[in-house]
Chain A
Amino acid sequence: MSKNALIQFVEDQVAIKDFPAFSAGDTITVTYKIIEGTKERLQKFQGVVLQRVGEGPKATFTVRKISNNIGVERIFPVASPFIQEIEVNKKGAVRRARIFYLRSLRGKKARIKEARR
């Protein structure tokens, strides 16, 4: 279904930063701003991209990492003003757009082959 021109007009006004292209299976580092009370600081979240969803200002992506042996997932809106930087560390070779099978894998099995350029 084509999007209404007026919705497109509203969405075009939301500023989306220019990030490098990445997709499911890639290992990325997201630098984002955290506001604690009045203080601001930057935090990094490095992990594997599980999926990218949506388009325009509604688009999000899910990043999964293993922290202290516990799987942690975080969903970031692409248009969020809190995201400072996205760095692609590794291009992963995966066959599907949503790699949820990674959740049930541990240790050596949870590795993803690096894509050949």
Chain B
Amino acid sequence: MSGILGKKVGMTSIYDESGKNIPVTVIEAGPCIVSQIRTKDVDGYDAVQLAYGEKKEKHTTNALKGHLHKAGTGPKAMIAEFTRFEKKKSLGETVTVEVFMEGEFVDVVGVTKGKGFQGVVKRHGFGGVGQATHGQHNRLRAPGSIGASSYPSRVFKGMRMAGRMGGDRVKLINLQIVKIIPEKNLILVKGAVPGPKNGFLKIERWN
């Protein structure tokens, strides 16, 4: 595994050599600091912990300050682990976008935009009930039946109903890297990625 942490900048479109229009998401990724090396002997598994992003000192706990001080760096906004990192890394080393190559396929993890309390049509893709005419009213976007009566006399667990939508951790797999601009720490990924602009992202590549 190989990876980096970044921030969503926004979307635009570019053209490839054959003249095809490609929608891309611009991600500002790295440079990240290696903040901890986890080893099999000490932690039970091998991983590299990366830290990324600006954070004010007054908003940082002393525990985090101390942890990052060992790697010789200031407060960071996002910290994540990458198991079985491909290249050997040492504490305090920087990881830049050059861990990836153009044309590779990566997975992008982000937290989706919060949508608030939503009905079943938007949240679960239900079709709604019936038709709009013939005296029908009030039930256009209703969920319909949620189960039988005396048996089972309860609603099954996991029944899809209205509720809070969004704000979930989502991983999109196999997004192609269209372009890498190392001097600006930018990665251009084909298609959309989860989350708002300035949302933190974890970009990883498995082999």
Contacts and interface: CB of A to CB of B under 8 A. Distances in A.
Interface of A: 4, 6-7, 9-11, 13-14, 56-58, 77, 79-82
A78 to B, nearest CB: 11
Contact of A6 (B14, B21, B24, B26): B26
A10 B186 contact: yes
**Main SS at interface, chain B:** strand
A77 to B, nearest CB: 6
Contacts of A10: 12, 14, 24, 26, 181, 186, 188
A57 B19 contact: no
Interface of B: 9-10, 12-15, 19, 21, 24, 26, 28, 181, 184, 186, 188, 197
B167 to A, nearest CB: 23
Contacts of B184: 6, 9
18 contacts: A4-B9, A6-B26, A6-B186, A7-B9, A7-B10, A7-B26, A10-B12, A10-B14, A10-B181, A10-B186, A13-B14, A14-B14, A57-B14, A58-B13, A79-B15, A81-B15, A81-B19, A82-B19
Please list the 7 inter-chain residue pairs (A to B) with the smallest Cβ-Cβ separation, ordered nearest first.
Answer: A81-B19, A6-B9, A7-B10, A82-B19, A11-B12, A14-B14, A10-B26
Contacts of B24: 10
Contacts of B15: 14, 57, 79-81
Contacts of B26: 6-7, 10
A7 B12 contact: yes
A58 B26 CA distance: 14
Contacts of B10: 4, 6-7
A79 B19 CA distance: 10
A81 B186 CA distance: 24
Contacts of A79: 15
A6 to B, nearest CB: 5
